Amino acid sequence: MKAPMDRWYVGLVRSLVLVLGLLVAGQVAAVELSKKNIEAALDAAYKKYKGLQEGANADYIPALAKVDSNIYGIALVTTDGKVYSVGDIKSEVSIQSISKVFTAALVMDESGPRSLEENMGVDATGQVFNSIVAIEQYKGAEMNPLVNAGAITATSMVKGEMYGDVWGKIESTYNNFAGRKLPLLQDVYESEAATNQRNQAIAHLMFAYGHIKNDPLRATDIYTRGCSVGVNAKDLAMMAATLANAGTNPVTGKQAMKSENVPELLAVMATAGLYDDSGKWLYKTGLPAKSGVGGGIIAVSPGKFGIAVISPPLDAAGNSVRAQKAIADISEALGGNPYEPAK
Ligand code: GLU
């Protein structure tokens, strides 16, 4: 009587253990960021797009037209601080608009996330990144800190009496995200400073509408300096990984921004990170990201990894052609889309 009962009970427990084991294995497989998987994803994307000859360097800033179009580097940093890369991770390009994310982070930390929302808004403008029409439409409200008007305004909100005080804080914020002292590309700075009359006009309009409350030309110049900081693909991936890791650099362990402000910052990146193609990008990848006309794109898979690609040729919307494709492939291979249901 007893023996068959025992066998039945043991069988049930075995089946349950098996089912649970399969479920756990399935979960692990869905999120596994092993060295092998990451290297395979990076190599595949690198090779697939190496020969792609589409797009052109930005040339409205003369120095950008001279950058080597063949620079192509991919880097990925996990939130546990492992660094992977393929291709050119030595060449430095100017960070350009990607800097806007990190200036916004500084303002959020100093004055709270509401300060940006209340001053210039957190909505996509539906216009180009340096649109004057977008400013006029709502008198400089209903913008966001990732378009020029919002970014120059955010720069003007960094607390500090003198130019050097403000720039010093911005520079050290960028450095903390990257985990090293980033250089200033003097030739890019001079080239952009000599040709940024449109940004000066934007700053004056934001001043006229009361969003910038100090010298608009000073804010424009500090913004231009921030755009001229030099980064390689590994620096950008580290900056993205710091966002993925709730504001703490996963390699240096240093806090670059307050963790409570990260979700709002990622939300603005998701809304407005890739110019007019932000919606298409989010639809395809689900990743908060930011691109710059220097040819870099960063993307963040929260809690998992930061990824960056540098390749200067841009498409019509101003986003690096290779970078978009490579990041989308790699994230897909590694389950980076935060909206993807766990398998
Ligand atoms: N410094 C550039 C500008 O203000 C940044 C543009 C960009 O990367 O989107 O025009």
Q: Is the CB of 278 under 6 A from ligand 1?
A: no
**293 CA to centre of ligand 1 in angstroms:** 6
**Strand-strand pairing, 93-94 and 83-87:** unpaired
pLDDT on residue 180: 98
- Nearest to 331, CA basis, from 235, 234, 237: 237
Atom of ligand 1 nearest to the CA of 227: 1
> Which of 57, 59, 60, 61 for a ligand 1 pocket mutation test, highest count of atoms within 8 Å of Cβ?
61
pLDDT at 92 over 80: yes
Q: Is 227 in the pocket of ligand 1 (CB under 6 A)?
A: yes
Ligand 1 site-directed mutation target among 67, 96, 277, most atoms within 8 Å of CB: 96
Report how far residue 241's alpha carbon sits from residue 235's, in angstroms, rounded to the nearest whole number: 10
Residue 86, beta-bridge partner list:
74
What is the mean pLDDT of the segment spanning 11-26?
A: 52
Instruction: Report whether pLDDT(99) > 80.
Output: yes
pLDDT at 179 over 90: yes
Question: Per-residue pLDDT averaged across 307-312, rounded?
Answer: 98
Per-residue pLDDT averaged across 203-230, rounded? 98
Q: Tell me, in angstroms, the distance from the centre of ligand 1 to residue 96's CA.
A: 5
Q: Across residues 145-155, what is the average pLDDT?
A: 97
- Please determine, for residue 251, whether its predicted confidence score (pLDDT) is greater than 80: yes
Residues above pLDDT 70, as percent of the chain: 91
pLDDT at 26: 46
Q: Distance (Å, rounded) from C-alpha 133 to C-alpha 117? A: 20
Comparing 14-18, 184-188, 296-300, the range with the smallest average pLDDT is: 14-18
Contact between 313 and 57 under an 8 Å Cβ cutoff? The reply is yes
Between CA 163 and CA 170 the distance in angstroms is 11
CA Rg value for the chain: 22
- Angle subtended by helix axes 197-208 and 148-157, to nearest 10: 70
Segment 257-282, tens digit of pLDDT: 999 999 999 999 999 999 999 999 99
Predicted local distance difference test score (pLDDT) of residue 341: 85
The number of the ligand 1 atom at minimal distance from the alpha carbon of 294 is 8
Average pLDDT over residues 138-148: 95
- Which amino acid residue places its CA nearest to atom 6 of ligand 1? 97
Name the average pLDDT for the chain: 93
Of all protein residues, the one whose alpha carbon is nearest to atom 2 of ligand 1 is 96
Q: Which token pair is 328?
A: 């989308």
Atom of ligand 1 nearest to the CA of 275: 9
Q: Ligand 1 pocket, 292 CB below 6 A?
A: yes
pTM for the full predicted model: 0.91
For ligand 1, say whether the CB of 179 is within 6 Å of any of its atoms: no
Q: Which run of H or E residues covers position 4?
A: helix 2-31
> Is any ligand 1 atom within 6 A of the Cβ of residue 242?
no
DSSP character at residue 255 = B
Q: What is the mean pLDDT of residues 216-222?
A: 98
Question: In angstroms, what is the span from residue 66 Cα to ligand 1's centroid?
Answer: 16
103 close to ligand 1 (CB < 6 Angstrom) = no
pLDDT of residue 25: 47
State residue 170's pLDDT score: 98
Question: How far does Cα 145 stand from its chain's mean position?
Answer: 13
Q: Residues 276-301: what's their mean pLDDT?
A: 97
Task: Give the domains, in start order, of the chain with CATH numbers.
Answer: 54-334 (3.40.710.10)
**Statement: residue 214 has pLDDT above 60:** yes
Range 18-43 average pLDDT: 71
- Which of 270, 257, 235 lies closest to 104 in space, CA to CA? 257
Q: Ligand 1 centre and the CA of 315: distance in Å? A: 15
